Amino acid sequence: MIRPAPHVPGEPGVWIFLFGDMVVFGVFFATFMYQRAQAPELFDASRHTLNIAIGLTNTLVLLTSSLLVVTAVRAIRLSQRGAAQLMLAGALVCGLIFIGLKAVEYTGKVTAGHVPTQNNFYLYFFILTGLHLFHVLIGVGVLILLMTQARRRNLTATRMAVVEGGGCFWHLVDLLWIVLFALLYLVS
């Protein structure tokens, strides 16, 4: 069997950013685990006040959006513009659902008195999910950019690489949330 030639997803430079972000978030995750080790009972008790249904739904929503994005990128490669645009719109809707649920979750927590200054768990909860939400907001912008590119008839190699890179950024957002869901909602 002849293996296909290796293909860099996106422009090579985008991986500086993607790996860089993954490493920095890795530092954030480790910082959280360190703080958890200082007060494991507090973290566990606080964890149980989280709305795990929202966390779970958000995880499934992001996973679905990633499937839509990777399929859309393949559709663009195969010049199936209509399908690509449809799927990217779907991914965008998923992104907006995530943001909406986050807003609901934050409001619910704050009105119940769980504010970032309450204890270390909630401090890190709001900061980590807040930084992630910042990435989601940028990701929504990236998805809109991908939708404009999906309208084009012929994409140059650079444009295609930008599309792939943009898709990878969305998968990064999904990937980071997978770890956050595990750390914040399940493990601590």
Partner 1 sequence: MTFSLLRARSTAVWLTLVAVTLVSWALGEDHGVGSTIAVVVLVLAVVKVRFVGLDFMELRTAPLILHALFEAYCIVLWMVLTGMYLWL
Partner 2 sequence: MHVTIEKAAAWLGVAMLGGFLVMFWFIAGLIPPMSPALTAEQTARIYSDHGLRIRIGLALMLLFCWLFTPFLALLSRQVRRIEGYWGVMSLTQVMLSVTFPFGFAVCAVFGVAAAYRPERNPDVTQALSDLFWFIFVGLVGPLIMQVIILAFCVFIDRRQVPSFPRWFVYFNIWYAMLGVPGCAIYLFKTGPLAWNGMFAFWIPLTVFGIWMIVTAIMLTRAVDVEAAERKARAANREWEPAA
Report the interface residues with partner 2, using CB under 8 A.
Answer: 11-18, 20-21, 24, 27-28, 31, 116-117, 120, 123-124, 127, 131, 134-135, 138, 165
| Residue 73 Cβ vs partner 2, minimum distance, rounded to whole Å | 18
| Burial class, 30, CB count within 10 angstroms (exposed 0-12 / middle 13-18 / buried 19+) | exposed
First to last CA, the chain: 46
* Partner touching 13 among partner 1, partner 2, none, CB below 5 to 8 Å by kind: partner 2
Q: Which is nearer to partner 2, 99 or 116 (CB)?
A: 116
- Please list, in sequence order, all residues whose beta carbon lies within 8 angstroms of the beta carbon of residue 52, skipping any fewer than 6 positions away: 185
Q: How far is the CB of 24 from partner 1 (least distance, A)?
A: 12
DSSP state for residue 8 in the 8-state scheme: -
Residue with tokens 């992104």: 95
* Selection from 105, 169, 165 nearest residue 137 by Cα: 169
**Which of 154, 141, 164 shows the shortest CA–CA distance to 81?**
154
Residue 31 or 115: the one with the smaller Cβ distance to partner 1 is 31
Q: Which does 30 bind (CB under 5 to 8 A by kind): partner 2, partner 1, none?
A: partner 1
Rounded to whole angstroms, the Cα distance separating 29 from 24 reads 9
To the nearest whole angstrom, how small is the minimum distance from the Cβ of residue 56 to partner 1?
Answer: 5
Residue 28 Cβ vs partner 2, minimum distance, rounded to whole Å: 7
Query: Which of 59/129 has CB closer to partner 1?
Result: 59
Closest by CA to 122, choosing from 141, 97, 105, 144, is 105
The CB-of-30 to partner 2 minimum distance in angstroms stands at 10
* 145: three-class secondary structure by DSSP: helix
Closest CA to 42 of 140, 114, 134: 114
Residues that bind partner 1 (CB under 8 A): 4, 6-9, 15, 18-19, 22-23, 26, 29-30, 33-34, 36-37, 40-41, 44, 52, 56, 59-60, 63-64, 66-67, 69-71, 74-75, 78, 80, 82-83, 86-87, 164, 167-168, 171-172, 174-175, 178-179, 181-183, 185-187
